Chains A and B, each alone.
Chain A
Amino acid sequence: MSCPDLAALAAAHADPGAHRAVVEHVHAGCASCAAHWRRLDVFEAVAALGPLPQVPAHLHAAALAIPEQQTAGVAGRLLSLVGRLVFDSAGGRLVPGLRDAGAGRRHLLYEAGPYEIDLALVEPATLVGQVMGPEDADLRDAVVLLSGEGRTFDAAVLEHGDFHLDGVAPGRYALQIGSDDLDLVLPDVDLTSPGSA
């Protein structure tokens, strides 16, 4: 048979026993009808999961209010800062006061507002770092996430802002240091050349 109209196809999907000729047509290999049939399969599968969760009114209102709050500078206490690279041992001399990463290490220093993030890629595959901020900066509970090259690593920020991540292969990564009230983002950390210092 030739392709049925879409309503006939839908009727067959809803009641295959009553529309065997259409079902046979679909299963005989008609790509167009089979694609519509699959979409109706997906609809039924999604419907079987039930409706998506209803969002409580107070949460809906909170989400709606975010632009105004952020404009007014009262968006909770979250401070989000994007860091910029201020030193790379692969391309320059150490700046005064910076910890020496040692031979065979790649050393990077970022600034994000009043924060400094100091990174060193230690061969073979360990990234050690330290985040330093204002005296009143509270980095307790902060978590470091390093994402890239198809993997994600995580570590807790220790006392004095230190952290280290093992198993980090050379590559390009995004690093995020987050706590309840702080989000430091280094969107492009170049670790392609360990030990080039």
Chain B
Amino acid sequence: MGDPSPRRREDSTELVARVRADAPGAWARLVRRYERLVLSVPRGMGLSEDDCEEVFQATWMALHRQIHGLRDPGSLGDWIITTARRQAWKHLRRTSLRRQREGASLPSESEAGEGVRQEPASPDAPPIDEVLRLERRQIVHEVLEGMPTRCRRLLEALYLGRDDPSYAEVARRLGMPIGSLGPTRARCLAELARRLEEAGLS
């Protein structure tokens, strides 16, 4: 299998096949595509930054070890979410056991940092709603990143910005006539909807 066409974004099945074949750059593309998803899982479970980093690395190591045995590379996002969640659980469990063995009292929540969960979460498969939410988030961000630059920047400015900028501010930032923002937004949303459909978002 050759390099991906520059005109079409490779899907996860193709990407996994290229990683398995040791194709140049394939692993780097895999990391770029999914690294934010990996990190979002332990963060969503409330782990500390140090713990998130350990889970992040453990998840990538697990993926590299097991990539030849993945049964359904088309569901790589789902596999990553489940694996990252299990790694997070294992990490919490080991930490908890170590503390118990050492007889140390668990720090209070305020000592540990706001939102840090002290007891391991269940390692069971994550709730379907959570997987769906994370998968959809990944798909939307993947599709958005593959959009033409002008559209991507406009949609990010209008929908993903931390502030709520006025049309005039967005037009200024992007160097676009204010009168073109509405029609351009409609065209870009239409293209986004088409690409989301192609990406399998139902």
Contacts and interface: CB of A to CB of B under 8 A. Distances in A.
Interface stretch (A8-16, A94-102, A127-135): A8-16
B143 to A, nearest CB: 9
Contacts of A50: 160, 162
A51 B101 CA distance: 40
A180 B61 CA distance: 13
Nearest to A58: B53
Interface in B126-142: 136-138, 140-141
B137 A60 contact: no
Interface residues of A, number: 53
Tell me the interface secondary structure of chain B in the complex. Answer: helix
A55 B196 CA distance: 24
A143 B196 contact: no
A52 B90 contact: no
Contacts of A75: 61
A53 interface: yes
B39 A59 contact: yes
Given A35-B197, A42-B140, A63-B57, A70 B64 contact: yes
A193 to B, nearest CB: 25
A173 B37 CA distance: 28
Given A9-B190, A36-B197, A47-B159, A53 B36 contact: yes
Interface string B25-49: 0011001000111011001000000
B179 interface: no
Interface residues of B, number: 51
B57 A62 contact: yes
Contact of A39 (B36, B186, B187, B196): B196
A151 B156 CA distance: 40
B56 A59 contact: yes
Interface stretch (B1-9, B91-99, B103-111, B168-176): B91-99
Interface in B50-87: 53, 56-57, 60-61, 64-65, 86
B182 interface: yes
Given A52-B36, A52-B137, A140-B101, 17 more contacts: A6-B190, A7-B183, A8-B186, A13-B189, A39-B196, A40-B193, A42-B201, A49-B137, A50-B160, A55-B35, A62-B60, A63-B35, A63-B60, A66-B64, A141-B94, A143-B97, A145-B123
Interface of A: 5-11, 13-15, 35-36, 38-40, 42-47, 49-56, 59-60, 62-64, 66-67, 70, 75-76, 78, 80, 140-141, 143, 145, 147, 151-152, 154, 156, 178-180
